[in-house]
Amino acid sequence: MRITVIGAGHLGATHAAGMAEIGHDVIGVDIDPIKVDTLNEGRGWFHEPELDELLTRNLTIGRLRFTTDFKQAATHGEVHFLAVGTPSGPDGTYDLSQLTGAVHELAPHLHQPCLIVGKSTVTPGTAAKLETLARSLAPAEQIEVAWNPEFLREGTAVADTLTPDRIVVGADSAAAERVLRDLYVPITRSHGCPLLVTDRITAEMVKATANAYLATRISFINAVAEMSAAVGANISDLADAIGHDVRIGHQYLSPGLGFGGGCLPKDLHAFTQQATAADITPAVNLLRSVDTINQHMRHRAIDLARSAVGGTLTGRRIAVWGAAFKAGIDDVRDSPALDVATRLHHQGATVTVYDPQALPQARQAAPQLAYAQTAADAAQDAHLVIVATGWPEFGALDPQTIANRVRTPILLDTRGVITAPRWMAAHWTVLSLGYRT
Amino acid sequence: MNITVIGCGRLGAPYAAGMASLGHHVLGLDTNPDTVAALRAGKAPFAEPGLAEAITDGAATGGLTFTDSYRQAADHATVHFLAVPTPQSVDGNHHDLTDVYAAATRLARELRRDSLIVVKSSVPAGTCAVLAEQMAASAAPGIRIEVAASPDFMRESCSIPDVRRPSRIVLGVQAGGDAERILRELWAPCLAVGVPLVVTDLVTAELCKLAANAFLATRVSFINALSEFCHAAHANITDLAQVIGHDPRIGSDYLAPGLGFGGSCLSKDLRGFVALAADLGIGDWTNLLTVVDHINQGRRRGTVDLAIQALNGKPAGQPVAVWGASFKPGIDDIRDSPALDVATRLHQAGASVRVYDPQAMAHARSECPELEYATDPAAAVEGARVLLHLTGWPQFTTVDPAALHPAPDAVLIDARGGLNHHQWTAAGWTVRTL
C-alpha cells in the first residue's frame, strides 16, 4: 500500500520506518529539512534503539524516503498518517495547531479519494473536525478521517510498532475499517495481536485514558510508600506482594520520585481540563489527587535532601544522578529528576548533574545547573548524592570510590536502584523515598 | 501437619476446608454453636461453591473436625490460624478488632506448648505486634508464643481454589522466629506448584491486604469516573475499557464500569486505609482514596436518580423491580451490597420495591425486611414500571424480556451491563445505563 506519514518526530519517523518494514511504500513528510536530510541518511535525529538499522534497510531497498514536499506526499498516499505532536497548550488542553497545520498543507493537494489517519493523542471530537477541514480544502470528493492511536514507549518504539500488544482502529465507516485492517495484516497475521475496532471518539480517548490509569497506579503506590514509611513497613516487599495479584500486576508499581516525561503529565492535565469543562466532578477529583501526589513526591525528595544536609540548602553541594525522566532514554521533558535538581538550585544549593545519556538535553533545558561527565565527578565534594533517575548503572557503582570523592557520604535514593546494605557497608548513610533502608 | 483455624466464617471455613484438602489435620473452632453444628453436619454455613463438598470430604477422611472449645484447639496443634472477622467499626472507619483480641487471649490462656499464631484476618498495620504482647501476657509462664501475619487474598465464590492455589502467599514474621520454616512445610503443596511466597516483616504483611484492596477499589472507581466522562464526550466506555485492558500494564480484570464495588472487603479496607493514613497525618494520600470512595458512592446515588427520573420524579407507591441482592454474582453475601443499598434507598424514597436474587434472598430478607421479595425474576417484574439490574448474575442475561409482564412503557436500568439491549428494546423496554 502507498502510505505517507506526516511528521518526522519520534512517533512519525518510527511509524514510517515500521510501515516500510512490513512491506508498504512509504514517504515521510516534515517541514524541517534538517530532520528530513538526517533521516534520509538512515539516522534518527533522536536516540531510539534499533531505529537506524530499520531506516537504513528500508531506505536502501527503496520502500522509504523522507521529503518536505507535501504535494509529492499528497499524490503518493492512499493513506496519510498524521503523526505530528500535540503538546500541552497554556491551559492544559492539547495544542492541536500542528494537526490542523498538517491538514492545511496536505488537503489542497488531494485529488484522489483517500483516508487520513490520526495517531496523536487529542481531545475527543478532533477527528470529526479535521475531516470537515480536510473536506473543505481538498479537491477530491471522498476524504475520510479515522483514528489509530499510537502506543509507543520511548526506548522500545521499534518493537512497539512492529509487535504491538494491540492495534486500535477508530472508524466511522466500514470502508475505513477495511483499509486499516488490510494495512496492518502483516502485523496481525505474523504477530497475532488483536485489532480492536471502535468509534473515532473512543479511539481518540484511548491513549489519554491508558496514561491517566498508569499515572494513577504510580501515584497510588507512591502514596502507599508514604504510609509504609510512616508505619515502618517495607514498600518493596509490599509492591511485590500485591503485584502477584493478576488483577494488579507488577508493572508501573515502583514507588519513587513519580512520573514525568512527554506523555503522562500532559495527558493527565488535558484529561483533567476536559473533565472540568464537562463538569465531571468525580473524574476531576480523582485526576487532581493523582497529580497532587505526584508533585508531592518531588517536594518530599527536596525536604529529605534539606534535612540530610543539615536543615538548609544554601551553599550545600549536591550531586544529582540522573536527568532523563526515566532510565534508558535521553528525554528530559517534565523530568522529575531535572525538576528536583532545579528546585534545589533555586533554594541555594550548588547542584551538579550527571546522566548517562541526557546531558546535552539537560544542559539546554536547565543551563543554570552544573554538569559532570561521570557520576563520580558529579559527586566531587558533595554533601549529598541524590539518585533521581533509575539508571541501573548507578546501582553498579562502587560505594568506596564515590565515598572518596564526597564531603559527606549521604545518599538519597529516590528510585530504588541502590542496594542499601552495600553502601552502608562503605559507611554511607542511605536515605530513600518510601523504601526502608 | 496438625493445625487449627480459629473462626469458621467466610474466611476461616474455606481456609480450614482447603487446608484439610491439602492433607493437613485441621480443627476448625467457632464460638457460635450453630455454626459448629452445621459444619459438623457437613453443611456450609453460607453459600460458597465447592465448600460443602470440601467439608464433607474433610469429614470423610477425618482430616477436618470442628469444635467450640479453645482447650481442644490448644491440645490439637501448635500452629493456629486466626481467621475471625474484623468488620468496620460502628463508630468510624477503623477495623473493629474486638474479636481478634478476644480470640487470641482466650487461646493464649489455654496453650500448654510453645505455639505459632498466624493472623489471617485483615488487620491494620501494627496489630500483630500488639497481639503478640497481649498473648504473651495471657499465656502461662514459660510458654513461648510466636506471631506471624499472613493476610488472605481469597475471593468469595472461588475461595476453595484460592486456598489450594493462591495467587501468592504473603508471610510477615518476627525476626529470629521459626514461622517461615514451619509454614514453608505446611504450604509445601502450594509452593511446589509455583505459588510465589513473599516473606517480609509483620507490619508490611498487614499493610499488603489493605493496599491490595484499596488498589482494586481505585481501579473500579477509575473506570467508573471515566464512564461518566465518556458519557459526556459520547465515547463508548465498554470499548474503551476493553482496549486499555489489552495493555499488559493495565489488564482487564476489575475494569468493568457499573454500580461499583461492595462487599465486606473493598469498602472496609479502603476506609480502614484512609483512617490509618489520617491517623498518620498523611493528607495527600487520604484524598485519593477518599475520592475513590466518593466515586463509588456516587454510582449508587446515580442509579437511584436514574430510577426516580424514570418514574417522572414521583417514586411514591410506584412498583419497582430489582434483580440482584448479593454484592457480586455467585454468592449469598449481602454485606455492603450496592444492589441492596440501591433497593433500600428507592424504598425510602417511597417506591414499592420487589427484589429477586438467585441465592441471597434469605440474607436480604433478614437484613431488609421492609422490602418485598419475589420467587423468580419474572415475578419481580410483574407490573413494575422500572426494573433495575444490580447484580451481574448470569441467569439474568438468559431471561427473555418478551415473556415478562411489566407496566406499559417500562424502563430497564442496566447498572451492571451484560443484558442484550437490542432484545430488550425490541420487547418494548426503554433501556438506560449509568
Domains of chain B: 2-195 (3.40.50.720), 210-284 (1.10.1040.10), 300-433 (3.40.50.720)
Coil, helix or strand for A54? helix
User: Torsion angle of alpha carbons B211, B214, B219, B220, nearest 10°?
Assistant: 150
Nearest Cα of chain A lies from the Cα of B217 at a distance, in angstroms, of: 11
Inter-chain residue contact B280 with A227, CB threshold 8 Å = yes
Partners of residue B216 in chain A, C-beta under 8 Å: 247-248
Contact A282 B224 (CB under 8 A): yes
Q: In Å, how far is B285's CA from the nearest CA of chain A?
A: 5
A 232-261 near B (Cβ less than 8 A): 232-234, 237-238, 240-242, 244-249, 251-252
Query: Residue B284's pLDDT is what?
Result: 67
Q: What is the pLDDT of residues A296-354, one digit of tens each?
A: 999 999 999 999 999 999 999 999 999 999 998 889 999 999 999 999 999 999 999 99
Distances (CA, A) of A29 to A6, A33, B269: 5, 10, 54
- What is the count of residue pairs from A and B with beta carbons less than 8 Å apart? 197
Of B170, B282, B287, the CB nearest to A241: B170
SS3 sequence of B197-261: EEEEEHHHHHHHHHHHHHHHHHHHHHHHHHHHHHHHHCCCHHHHHHHHHCCCCCCCCCCCCCCCC
**Alpha-carbon span A59 to A82, nearest angstrom:** 21
Average pLDDT rounded to a whole number, residues B155-176 = 93
**Quick one: average pLDDT of A181-203?**
93
Query: CA-CA distance, A222 to A436, in Å (whole number)?
Result: 13
Q: Which residue of chain B comes nearest to A276, CA vs CA?
A: B229
**What mean pLDDT comes out for the span A221-241?**
89
pLDDT tens readout for residues B49-61: 999 999 999 999 9
Q: Do B298 and A220 touch (CB under 8 A)?
A: no
Dihedral class, residue A297 (left if φ above 0, else alpha if ψ from -120 to 50, else beta): alpha
- In this structure, chain B runs to a length of 434
Q: What Å distances lie between residue B177 and A138, A204, A241, B1, CA to CA?
A: 78, 56, 21, 19
Which chain B residues touch A279 with a CB distance below 8 Å?
232
- Residue B254: pLDDT band (50, 70, 90) is confident
Helix (H) / strand (E) element for B79: namely: strand B79-82
Calculate Rg over the CA atoms of chain B.
23
ipTM of model = 0.88
In the predicted structure, residue B195 carries a pLDDT above the cut 50: yes
Q: Global pTM?
A: 0.89
- Residue B253 burial (C-beta neighbours within 10 Å; 0-12, 13-18, 19+): middle
Which triple of cell numbers denotes residue B185? 512445610
- Mean pLDDT, rounded, for B262-277: 85
Asked if the Cβ–Cβ distance from A231 to B170 is below 8 Å, we say no
Q: Cell digits for B206?
A: 498487614
Please state, in angstroms and rounded to a whole number, the distance separating the CA atoms of residues B432 and B338. 18
In this complex, do B282 and A223 lie within 8 Å of one another by their Cβ atoms?
Answer: yes
A216 three-state secondary structure: helix
Q: Is A237 close to B198, i.e. CB distance below 8 A?
A: yes
Closest-CA residue of chain B to A272: B229
Could A289 and B229 be called an inter-chain contact, meaning their C-beta atoms sit closer than 8 Å?
Answer: no
Helices (H) and strands (E) counted in chain A, each on its own, are: 19, 14
pLDDT at A426 over 90: yes
Q: Residue B134 in contact with residue B163, Cβ under 8 Å?
A: no
For A433, the grid coordinates are: 523515598
Amino acid at B430: T
Give the mean pLDDT of B218-236: 90
Cell of residue A7, nine digits: 511528521
A384-409 mean pLDDT: 97
Instruction: Domain ranges for chain A, please list them.
Output: 2-198, 217-437
A225 CB-side CA count, 13 A: 30
- Bigger pLDDT: A229 vs A183: A183
Q: Do B232 and A238 lie within an 8 Å CB cutoff? A: no
- What CA–CA distance (Å, rounded) separates A344 from A364? 18
How much is the pLDDT for A125?
A: 93
Distance from CA of B354 to the nearest CA of A (A): 31
Q: What is the CATH number of domain A2-198?
A: 3.40.50.720
Interface probe, candidates A231, A246, A281, A291, chain B, greatest B C-beta count within 10 A = A231
Indicate the range of A152-161, A401-410, B108-117 predicted with least confidence.
A152-161
The partner residue sitting opposite B211, judged by closest CB among A238, A251, A292, is A238
- Contact call for residues A388 and A362 (beta carbons, < 8 A): no
Mean of the per-residue pLDDT values of chain A: 93
Q: What is the pLDDT of residues B401-426, one digit of tens each?
A: 999 999 999 999 999 988 999 999 99
Q: Which of A276, A306, A290 is nearest to A383 (CA)?
A: A306
pLDDT digit string, tens, across residues A61-100: 999 999 999 999 999 999 999 999 998 888 888 999 999 9
pLDDT band for position A203 (50/70/90)? very high
Query: Nearest residue on chain A to B226, judged by CA atoms?
Result: A283
User: What residues of chain B lie within 8 A of the CB of A226, using their CB?
Assistant: 282, 284-285
All three cell numbers of A10, joined, read 519520534
The neighbour count for residue A427, using CB atoms within 10 Å, is 10
Secondary structure of residue A157 in the 3-state scheme: helix
B324 neighbors B413 (Cβ within 8 angstroms): no
Instruction: Tell me the average pLDDT across B93-110.
Output: 93
Average pLDDT over residues B19-26: 96
What whole-number distance in Å separates Cα of residue A106 and Cα of residue A16? 17
Q: A205 — contact with chain B (CB < 8 Å)?
A: yes
Q: From residue B46, give the alpha-carbon distance in Å to each of A70, B51, B265, B398.
A: 70, 9, 17, 26
B20 vs B63: CA distance, rounded Å: 6
**Residues in chain B closer than 8 A to A151 (CB atoms):** 247
With CA atoms as reference, the chain A residue closest to B219 would be A213
pLDDT at position A437, please? Answer: 43
Model confidence at A208: pLDDT above 60: yes
Share of chain A above pLDDT 70, in %: 99
Contact yes or no for B315/B347 (Cβ under 8 A): no
> What pLDDT does A435 receive?
55
- A189/B contact by beta carbon, under 8 A: no
Give percent above pLDDT 90 in chain B.
79
Q: What is the pLDDT of residue B233?
A: 87
Q: Using CA of residue A76, residue A81, residue A84, residue A89, what is the dihedral sign? A: positive
- Our CA angle for B205, B211, B215, nearest 5°, is 150
Residue B319, C-alpha cell as written in the block: 412498583
- Provide the residue count of chain A: 437
Q: Does domain A217-437 have CATH number 3.40.190.80?
A: no
Q: Is residue B2 scored above 70 in pLDDT?
A: yes
The SS3 call for residue A11 is helix
Amino acid at B212: A
**Residues B128, B208, B230, B265: which is the catalytic one?**
B265
- Contact B361/B373 with Cβ under 8 angstroms? yes
From B159's Cα to the closest Cα of chain A, the distance in A is 15
With an 8 Å Cβ cutoff, are B240 and A196 in contact? no
Average pLDDT over residues B251-271: 87
C-alpha gyration radius of chain A: 24
